Structure 1
Amino acid sequence: MAEIDKLIGARIAKARKRKGWPQALLGDLAERSESWVSQVERGAIPLDSVVTAEKLAGLLEVATPYLLAFDVRHPAAEVDAPSLGSHRPSPASARTARPDAESSDAVLRRTFNLGALAGVTTALAGLSPDAQAQTAQSPRGTLDRPTVDELRSNGAFYRRSYKSFPAATLVPVAHSQIELVLSLRPKDQPAELRTLLLAHMAEMACLAACLLSLDLADRQKADSYMDMGYEIGKEIDSPELLALVLGGRAFNASYGGDPESGLDYALAAVDRAERGASRRMLAWTNAVASEMYASTGDERGFGSSLEEARTVLSGPMDDERWGGIAWFDLSKADAYEGSDLVRLGRYREALPSLDQAIDRLPEEMMRHRCTAYISRAEANAGANDIEAACADGQAALDLVEKVQHRETLRRVSELHRSLRPHRTVAVRSLGEHVIDTRTLLKTAGSTV
């Protein structure tokens, strides 16, 4: 391992020098000391986590697998050499590629690099192991369990980060995690590790889809990531992943103007969750169904689904199996209830649930508080409390500016248009805030 540490350190030093940076500058950017950088570059101490490696790779504009020397530690992995932002394959990988045809996992890597995500369903077939080939292959490209466990741990951190990280920051992270898994050639790994790698890949696809759909308003690209998550969920027979993807599709369809299809997806998500997903996933899919019922005007379906979500949350949990985005608990159930009642036009009834949700939601759950505020703003407007509606709209926009949740911006914009006839100072101020927020977010999604 000491030799690997020296190699990693040498690659860090080389990339740093190519950028013309002294060790002190890299240390400042990485929030570490100059001494730490010096020791890492000499191989005296190892990198302490994959997260640290990803941060350095981003600063130095090299691929994380290259920086971690996966091409040496796991020779079967496809690792790009540094190219200061370019994604061209290294000469070594070009020489070892099959001359007769491009492999399907290479096709998938190329579509990611192009950002097109075209043909992912076909390309995903390349992630399935060939039994005869696996029997004959060399074990030298096999990963170790701690490496895979660390990737999964990082993935859980990124999914939790949805609560408060900006969308334009998280989408590239999720995307790079998918490419990292592909570079590790999951089809060549033992069955257990392959399943874990693919689950991580699918969870990152779901995270990207969620951000693209609800935050960056790119439902077409979000749908491509959902395709990937769904295909992997079927490949590894994961009720957790399939329920997560179907729940995401429910939002994508409903917010795209097709609430009936949204309800179909939500009920399919509940069905999948009932067949082996975690208890929290079952609760969340029922809450999603409650929103879809409310969007179609079905009060009975809304009530029964939300009651089921609360019932599940009140029982024992198995959270080590939770594969969802961020978190779902009783405070979020309160927010769902209030928002659903707003959709049903029961504005005054919605206010107590939304008051409770905003009181109970932790400050770091910015996206969840963001949607709770706009729902309460809509409820106050429906109850003809214009000042309160504007105050909640302002609070929602403050959070939109931090997390880039464009769906909330759209709802606040619609709220302002409905309030414009009142011509009060509060309404005018809300309109100015809407314009300022639009300007701030105008280019936020241009790099993802």
Structure 2
Amino acid sequence: MREIDKVIGQRIEKGRRRRGLHQGRLGAEVGRSESWIGQVERGVISLDSVSMAEQLARVLGLTVDHVLAFDVRYPGAVVVTQSGRSQAAFPPPPRAPAPDAESSETVLRRSFTLGSLAGLTAAIAGLSPDAQAQASRPGNAVDKAMVDELRSIGASYRRSYKSFPAASLVSVAHHQIELVTRLRPKEQPALLRDSLLTHMAEMAALAAILLSLDIADQEQADAYSDLGYRIAREIRSPELCALLLGGRAFRTSYGGDPEGGLDYALAAVDAAEGGGSARMKAWTYAVASEMYSSTGDEYGFRSSLDESRTVLLGPMDDERWSGIAWFDESKASAYEGSNLLRLGKYEEALPSLDEALDRLPPEMLRHRCTAYIARAEAHAGAGHVDASCQDGHAALDLVAHIQHHETLRRVGDLHRRLRPAKAAVTRSLGEHLVDTRSALATAGSPV
């Protein structure tokens, strides 16, 4: 029995009792037996997935990071309480130096030194006892079961992007990279080596996206992205190459070079078409649609998004998906609305954004956050001040949880745009904006 499982069990039990639910009722709500709930609450068995933690959190009115005890796993992490307020700042992880002309062997050994012992220890503590034993003896061979466990953990963290606070999750991704480095993947048999390196590249991609879009640290984001892409090329993974090129497209376009962003997006499409999963192909086409709209090319945006939706209608091979969070038709609708917004077609954008918000699951906080700010901007463009402010408030409520820097910036732009109306609703939005900035600054997130 692990101590962390006891903590998780106690939190679930406390949440259940607060809601006045018996174990059988809670089990029915999440599709598990009363016995299973009881064993989890006693710490006898572990939660088997982040998805199950999300379901329990939703039923109990808790946050996922609270249920999974991120504050215990990673002492000092930013954890959002039930009231929605952030507590305790997480110190930034050691910087990832940008790879130079050295070989990837040298990069793997030097780029991520074990500079955060507490984080590495926490990463090891999250493994099963057998895997812990292997991870604690660096230099020894690892077995397939341990590597599969790491990959499963990595998939959970990638899915967690949709709802976890950025400062917590970027540190978790970094510590997973440190852990793989400790296992010396280059000294393992070929199949295990490639699987470990895949996990490392996926965590680098996750860190890069969080640092770029959520925390707005482009220097660190590029370092992680460069490392991940180096690994993806080395192990000849079209899936990972597509993922990292797509992420680079966003950073390049929003950094002031929309044409360059489109070049990266088209390279991502080509990589995915060369052997990526079906969902990765659909996502890269959607990324290309956004880059086309950023350059003012409506035909390019519509044709690319049509390609994305066509792929989504076909067979999926999701066991191969290495992407961040998820991509489906609800996200395609969000892309469509945002693309129309970029083209100044405000009234036309609103139905697509309405559809996206209707269909996006409640736990997809980041995706709902960006959809709310996009709809707020569309309402503003269409002259709907009250509706725009209402969506601005909804976006800020989510920013307080997930620490999404880009949305905070966009709400600031929106408020300045609406402020000349001198209406009570715009003043209220301004007050909410200031409060959110203060809360994030207190939590240690850059604003």
TM range (shorter): 0.7 to 0.9
- C-alpha contact (below 8 Å) 2:163/2:366 kept by paired residues: yes
Task: Determine whether 1:422 maps to 2:402.
Answer: no
TM-score normalised per structure 1: 0.74
Matches of 1:50 and 1:313 in 2, distance apart?
A: 25
The residue aligned with 2:214 is 215
One of 124, 130, 145 as aligned partner of 2:104: 124
- C-alpha contact (below 8 Å) 2:392/2:429 kept by paired residues: yes
The residue aligned with 2:332 is 333
How far apart are residue 444 of structure 1 and its match? Answer: 4.2
The residue aligned with 2:135 is none
Matches of 2:213 and 2:440 in 1, distance apart?
A: 14
Q: CA, structure 1 residues 192+157, in 2 after alignment: closer, same or farther (shift >3 Å)?
A: same
Matches of 1:389 and 1:28 in 2, distance apart?
A: 45
- C-alpha contact (below 8 Å) 2:369/2:394 kept by paired residues: yes
- C-alpha contact (below 8 Å) 2:98/2:224 kept by paired residues: no
The residue aligned with 2:320 is 321
- C-alpha contact (below 8 Å) 1:30/1:56 kept by paired residues: no
SS for the counterpart of 1:122 is coil
SS for the counterpart of 1:358 is helix
The residue aligned with 2:156 is 157
The residue aligned with 1:285 is 284
Code of the aligned partner of 1:361: L
Matches of 1:359 and 1:50 in 2, distance apart?
A: 26
Deviations 1:214-264 (A, max 9, x none): 000111110100001100000100000000000000010111111111111
Report matched runs for 1:192-271 at 5 Å.
Answer: 192-271=191-270
Matches of 1:192 and 1:431 in 2, distance apart?
A: 54
Matches of 1:49 and 1:336 in 2, distance apart?
A: 32
The structure, 1 or 2, with the larger RCO (C-alpha pairs under 8 Å, 6+ apart) is: 2
How far apart are residue 32 of structure 1 and its match? Answer: 5.7
The residue aligned with 2:380 is 381
How far apart are residue 117 of structure 1 and its match? Answer: 1.7
Matches of 2:330 and 2:48 in 1, distance apart?
A: 33
Matches of 1:113 and 1:401 in 2, distance apart?
A: 21
Equivalent residue pairs, number: 355
The residue aligned with 1:88 is none
Q: Where does the alignment leave 5 or more consecutive residues of structure 1 unmatched?
A: 1-8, 13-22, 34-44, 62-111, 130-138
Matches of 2:358 and 2:302 in 1, distance apart?
A: 23
Deviations 1:44-69 (A, max 9, x none): x99999999998764599xxxxxxxx
Matches of 2:330 and 2:46 in 1, distance apart?
A: 38
How far apart are residue 126 of structure 1 and its match? Answer: 3.3
Q: CA, structure 1 residues 315+445, in 2 after alignment: closer, same or farther (shift >3 Å)?
A: farther
Report matched runs for 1:102-121 at 5 Å.
Answer: 114-119=94-99
Code of the aligned partner of 2:145: P
- C-alpha contact (below 8 Å) 2:282/2:312 kept by paired residues: yes
Matches of 2:350 and 2:197 in 1, distance apart?
A: 42
SS for the counterpart of 2:327 is coil
How far apart are residue 119 of structure 1 and its match? Answer: 3.5
Code of the aligned partner of 1:125: E
Code of the aligned partner of 2:219: Q
How far apart are residue 125 of structure 1 and its match? Answer: 2.6
Q: CA, structure 1 residues 128+175, in 2 after alignment: closer, same or farther (shift >3 Å)?
A: closer
List structure 1 runs of 4+ shifted beyond 4 angstroms.
26-33, 45-57, 443-447
TM-score normalised per structure 2: 0.74
The residue aligned with 1:312 is 311
The residue aligned with 1:347 is 346
The residue aligned with 1:276 is 275
Q: Which range moves more in the overlay, 256-265 or 195-204?
A: 256-265
Matches of 1:288 and 1:247 in 2, distance apart?
A: 7
Q: CA, structure 1 residues 358+364, in 2 after alignment: closer, same or farther (shift >3 Å)?
A: same
- C-alpha contact (below 8 Å) 2:185/2:196 kept by paired residues: yes
Code of the aligned partner of 1:124: S
How far apart are residue 326 of structure 1 and its match? Answer: 0.1
Matches of 2:174 and 2:47 in 1, distance apart?
A: 23
Matches of 1:55 and 1:327 in 2, distance apart?
A: 25
SS for the counterpart of 2:102 is helix
Q: Which range moves more in the overlay, 288-297 or 436-445?
A: 436-445
How far apart are residue 437 of structure 1 and its match? Answer: 1.0
The residue aligned with 2:178 is 179
Code of the aligned partner of 2:95: G
Code of the aligned partner of 1:202: A
How far apart are residue 415 of structure 1 and its match? Answer: 0.7
Q: Which has the larger radius of gyration?
A: 1
- C-alpha contact (below 8 Å) 2:232/2:241 kept by paired residues: yes
Matches of 2:358 and 2:46 in 1, distance apart?
A: 41
Cα RMSD, aligned residues only: 2.9
Report matched runs for 1:23-42 at 5 Å.
Answer: 29=7, 31=9
Q: CA, structure 1 residues 57+295, in 2 after alignment: closer, same or farther (shift >3 Å)?
A: closer
